[in-house]
Amino acid sequence: MTVCEYRPGLEGIPAAQSSISYVDGQKGILEYRGIKIEELAEKCTFLETAYLLIWGELPTKEDLEEFETEIRYHRRIKYSIRDMMKCFPDSGHPMDALQTSAAALGLFYSRRALDDPAYIRQAVVRLLAKTPSLVAAFQLMRKGNDPIQPNDDLDYATNFLYMLTERKPKPLAAKIFDVCLTLHAEHTMNASTFSARVTASTLTDPYAVVASAVGTLAGPLHGGANEEVLLMLEEIGSVANVRAYVEKCVENKQKIMGFGHRVYKVKDPRATILQHLAERLFYELGSDEYYDIALELEKIVEEKYGAKGIYANVDFYSGLLYRKLGIPTDLFTPIFAIARVAGWLAHWKEQLAANRIFRPTQVYTGLHDIAYVPIDERVSVNNNNGSHGKIY
């Protein structure tokens, strides 16, 4: 066996072989199953894209209709799950609510038959169908309202916005939201996908796979940057302040949210598509000053940092779009999760098809041959000598 050098964060180390998605960070290319993201965003719905990611090829008309029908049928969530969710604290973060309720699905659909294609199909359909319902249900419950039932006449994106806001969205808003889901559906070996694959490799159930991935996505280094972008735009406050803000960041070596990427050294292709969508949405629904600030900020950041390969990433415009669609800021990451369920499930299936349990090694940095000290002879190394940090 080759002995590898330790790389913090496994940077640059392949964790799997995968044919699901591909990124070329120098050229700004993202492909799902070999098809460019620009083409999918323009021509495909999110469910069509999810089908492509999970089953490996674009569905025929009949396949897609069947898939959509199954998903419509499974959108409802059981009353017992709703009752369980009613016990969640209103102040809890929606990502915690989603992780808990996604894991709870495994209690209610507990059969685990990973070699049965019908079971795989049902799990895929249930998770894609129910994740938006779980997010919308928690949103209404924390406002003190009962969740509303899905509307079978509405497509995936329209129905989610309807369940979330209690009114039917404009067609353009639903269309744009659907494209946002497509753009976030998959992105090679990121932290939550790795987490999903590790969990999948133990042959546990797919609800646990998704719950562990949701928990990983919840961290601010992964799913939360678009929330930070909005806070930053609020802090900047006006177009006139943008240049001074960027100059202050350069001086203080402070990162500008929504810019830079570990892989992309040119503008993230998803940011380009989102920018076009933002243009359309703000044109139709009316611009706001944060959008104007964002445009100015992108221009000045490119001027200052472009030579370093720092450009807008997927998070720069998505928060602005979601806010214009009336979505509360703390739901941005759960919405990312709704989309990414497609990618996680594709990786779950791919992992099962050639499974080997993840069991990496470590570089031990501790001591050896230390003598055991009886408890009465030990000296405390904990010098807080009070109740600090203790929970009674």
Query: Active-site residue numbers?
Result: 261, 315
Q: 255, 283, 284, 357: which one contacts ligand CMC (CB under 6 A)?
A: 255
Q: With binding defined as CB under 6 A, does residue 313 bind ligand CMC?
A: yes
Q: Which residues contact residue 226 at a Cβ distance below 8 angstroms, ignoring those fewer than 6 apart? A: 258, 315, 316, 318, 319, 322, 332
Q: How far apart, in Å, do the first and last CA atoms of the chain sit? A: 49
Which of 194-202, 255-263, 327-335, 384-392 is the region at the interface with ligand CMC (rule: CB under 6 A)?
A: 255-263
Q: 162, 194, 259, 311: which one contacts ligand CMC (CB under 6 A)?
A: 259
Cα torsion 58, 62, 64, 68 to 10°: value is: -170
Q: With binding defined as CB under 6 A, does residue 190 bind ligand CMC?
A: yes
Closest CA to 298 of 284, 278, 283, 281: 278
> Within 10 A of 283 (CB to CB), how many other CB atoms are there?
10
207 near 186, Cβ under 8 Å?
Answer: no
> Within 10 A of 161 (CB to CB), how many other CB atoms are there?
23
Closest CB 324 distance from ligand CMC, rounded Å: 20
49 near 156, Cβ under 8 Å?
Answer: no
Cite the beta strand spans of the chain per DSSP E.
21-24, 29-32, 35-36
Q: With binding defined as CB under 6 A, does residue 343 bind ligand CMC?
A: no
Q: With binding defined as CB under 6 A, does residue 257 bind ligand CMC?
A: yes
Site for ligand CMC in 288-307 (CB under 6 A): 305
Task: For residues 37 and 42, give the distance between their C-alpha atoms in angstroms, rounded to a whole number.
Answer: 8
Q: 75, 126, 187, 340: which one contacts ligand CMC (CB under 6 A)?
A: 187
Q: Which residue is nearest to ligand CMC (CB)?
A: 260
Q: With binding defined as CB under 6 A, does residue 267 bind ligand CMC?
A: no
Q: Which is nearer to ligand CMC, 115 or 251 (CB)?
A: 251
The residue to which tokens 């999918």 are assigned: 40
Residue 250 one-letter amino acid: V
Which of 125-133, 258-266, 324-332, 378-386 is the region at the interface with ligand CMC (rule: CB under 6 A)?
A: 258-266
Q: With binding defined as CB under 6 A, does residue 315 bind ligand CMC?
A: yes
Q: 128, 157, 218, 310: which one contacts ligand CMC (CB under 6 A)?
A: 310
Number of residues in contact with ligand CMC, rule: CB under 6 A?
19
Q: Which is nearer to ligand CMC, 37 or 77 (CB)?
A: 37
**By the criterion CB under 6 A, which residues form the site for ligand CMC?**
187, 190, 222, 225, 253, 255-262, 305, 308, 310, 313-315
